[in-house]
Structure 1
Amino acid sequence: MDLVSMAGDTLYTIAGMGWKMLWALVLGFAISGAVQAFVPKRRMAQVMGDDGPASLARAGFFGAISSSCSYAAAAMSRSVFLRGAHVTAALAFMIAATNLVVELGFVLWSLMGWQFVVAEFVGGVVLIAIMALLMKAFGPIAAFERVRASESDDQADDAGDVPSPLSLDGWRTAAARFAMDWSMIWKDIVIGIVVAGTIAVWVPQSFWQAVFLSSGDGVSWLQMIENALVGPLVAVVSFVCSVGNVPMAAALFNGGISFGGALAFIYGDLIVIPMLLVYRRYYGTKLAAQLGVLLYVAMVLTGFLIDVVFTLAGWAPDAAATGVGSMEFFKLDYTFWLNLVFGVVGLGLWYLSRQAPAAHCAHHGH
């Protein structure tokens, strides 16, 4: 392949990744803006105000139905945290919003088979549980509370000063929050998409396959451990996030990477470098680093445990028998119609944000 063709493929892949993510980004940031504008802190504290099983279950449910990409999930997680949710519940919300969503299941089924769909959703629940245990044992919960206390996120709404979702002024406020979330991290999103598209075209799959230990026929315990350890790290440096990491995971699995290693790679979308930069902007450098390490450990343990269970039960798929296709970015499918609808929604919110009082923009300090 000549340089001109590779450059064209790179631009196509970058545009395709952005196209696939567009509707989810708009939906995620719209929900984030609505949560910030309409949900009183005291209500969020009632629903997700602790790190108990019921609170985590509710956080997981709300995250799953939010159907967002990782960037939007991070924004929504921060929103519910600032509105009174326990930090562990907010993180459970973020994990669910990226690993328990319907569109991810569709992509996994088409590229990697039903076993990966089941493993992804079961593993998402396990990932939340392990994260919660790690947060309770080692998490910097007090430091997160100090971050929340330092935010001037419209404390007046605790006294009942929350706009109605039926009022135009309320939606102007929500639109202003929508626009501010975009303005805070759009550069990180663009960088992530550009780097991911470039790597997908220019870095051969043989390079990634060489990074993972292979035991030839079958999968050894050592390979399970090493692949689970390396999977999220490869995701970190690949910059591939959200649903966009599934095609790469499929190619890696087809090349001999273990079942758990491929799963751990998919989970790694929450600790890719652009996401770590988003955490840094939201919570500061130290907390972003601690959060990244904690999520990494949870991903490794989850990938390994799911690999062991599925292998022992005989459910782990055979890579040779798994059809690995390629994602066709631009076609007349659900993505087209959702982008059309949410493109209009996004433009409408952006227009409303221009009418919002400037005071609404004063609360973001990270």
Structure 2
Amino acid sequence: PKKLIDKARKNLEKEDGDSGMDDSKDWKKQMQNENSWAKVGKKYKMEWQMVWKDVTVGFTIAGIVAAFVPDAWFQTLFIGSGQGNTDFSFFEILEHIIVGPVAAFVTFIGSMGNIPLAALLFGKGVSFAGVMAFIFSDLVVFPILRINAKYYGWKMSLFILFLLFTSLIGASLILHYSFDLMSLLPDPSQVQVQDSEYFKINYTFYLNLAFLIISGYLIYLGFFKKKDVDSKMGEMAPKSQLLENILKYAAFISYIWIAGGLAVKFLIQ
């Protein structure tokens, strides 16, 4: 729709005009300028302020689904699924493709946690197309919808969601039948879902530690040492205060849930 695209373009032009960044300056000098890094720190904090509630609720729901929802519940969502079943009709495959992204949307699960659950679904007999649609759905989950809405407005964000949803349906169908034609569909009986050890002292731990230090420095630089630096960056689309409050309290409940789980694991048991 031309009106939505024009409105989104105006929003982007407004953001570019309000960003306060001077593109004519030498980037090498900008890299050496502490004020430039202070602006980065302000922008970095602003981005986290925009998504922390979504990320918190998303991770918590993903954990609850993985830990407490029985496998049989997933099988009822996908018609004809079950261990050892690989013969699906077109309409069963189409249903799997549609239900996969819807389930991911409702549970907030995007790239944060959909791969382990996708492996679980495939091991329980969900079609290859349904699993691929579930994996592709990381771009049609609620946090992404909200982020797009803040930049382009809700109407344009919903239009983008519709385009991505229809695209992943087509892509999943093409992948499934292309692999089937070449006899390359993977065998679900070979899938073995094992418990993962989520905390290890390895390169990931040290990278996380390094980026945590960098994050702390950027926030210190932008909001303490160089707090008077004006970054002139603002959000582009108005937020729903009701939705923000709901997500905020949901995030607080998530923290209480996680703290309770840690207390049970390490203090009570």
Please tell me the TM-score bracket, short chain as reference. 0.7 to 0.9
Judged with a 3 Å threshold, the aligned counterparts in structure 2 of structure 1 residues 350 and 158 are, in CA distance, closer, same or farther, namely closer
> Distance between the aligned counterparts of 2:54 and 2:220, measured in 1?
23
For residue 188 of structure 1, report the CA deviation from its aligned partner. 1.7
Flag as ranges the 4+ runs of structure 1 deviating above 4 A.
Answer: 137-140, 158-163
Kept in 2, the 8 Å contact 1:180–1:361? The answer is no
Cross-structure match for 1:187: 53
Cα displacement (A) at 1:356: 4.1
Provide the rounded CA distance (Å) in 2 between the counterparts of 1:305 and 1:357: 54
Alpha-carbon separation, structure 2, partners of 1:247 and 1:172: 38
Q: Over aligned residue pairs, what C-alpha RMSD do you find?
A: 2.4
Deviation at 1:142, TM superposition (A): 2.6
Instruction: Give the TM-score of the pair, scaled to structure 1.
Output: 0.57
Contact 2:38–2:229, Cα closer than 8 Å, also in 1: no
1:349 maps to what in 2?
A: 218
The whole-number CA distance in structure 1 between the counterparts of 2:187 and 2:160 is 34
Matched ranges for 1:118-267 at <5 A: 140-151=4-15, 152-154=17-19, 157-160=22-25, 164-214=30-80, 216-267=85-136
Contact 2:115/2:135 (CA < 8 Å) preserved in 1?
yes
| Structure 2 counterpart of 1:364 | 235
Following TM superposition, by how much is the alpha carbon of 1:211 offset from its aligned partner in structure 2, in angstroms? 0.8
**Cα distance between partner residues in 2 of 1:208 and 1:173:** 46
* Secondary structure of 1:360's aligned partner: coil
Q: Does structure 2 retain, via aligned residues, the 8 Å contact 1:256–1:319?
A: yes
Q: Is the 8 A contact 1:176 1:361 kept in 2?
A: no
Larger RCO: 1 or 2 (CA < 8 Å, sep 6+):
2
Q: CA deviation at 1:194?
A: 1.9
2:198 is matched with which residue: 329, 334, 337? 329
Equivalent-residue separation in structure 2 for 1:245 and 1:217 (angstroms): 22
Give the letter for the 1:347 counterpart: G
* Matched-pair contact (CA < 8 Å) for 1:260–1:306: yes
Identical-pair percentage: 32
Contact 1:191 1:274 (C-alpha < 8 Å) held by counterparts? no
Q: What amino acid is the match of 2:228?
A: P
- Unaligned residue ranges in structure 1 (runs of 5+): 1-136
Offset of 1:287 from its aligned partner? 1.4
Alignment size in residue pairs: 230
Between Structure 1 and Structure 2, whose CA radius of gyration is higher? 2
Q: Write the distance in 2 (CA, Å) between the matches of 1:289 and 1:358.
A: 36
Evaluate the alpha carbon distance shift between residue 298 and residue 154 of structure 1 in structure 2; reply closer, same or farther with a 3 A threshold: same
In structure 2, runs of 5+ residues without a counterpart are 238-269
What TM-score, normalized to structure 2? Answer: 0.76
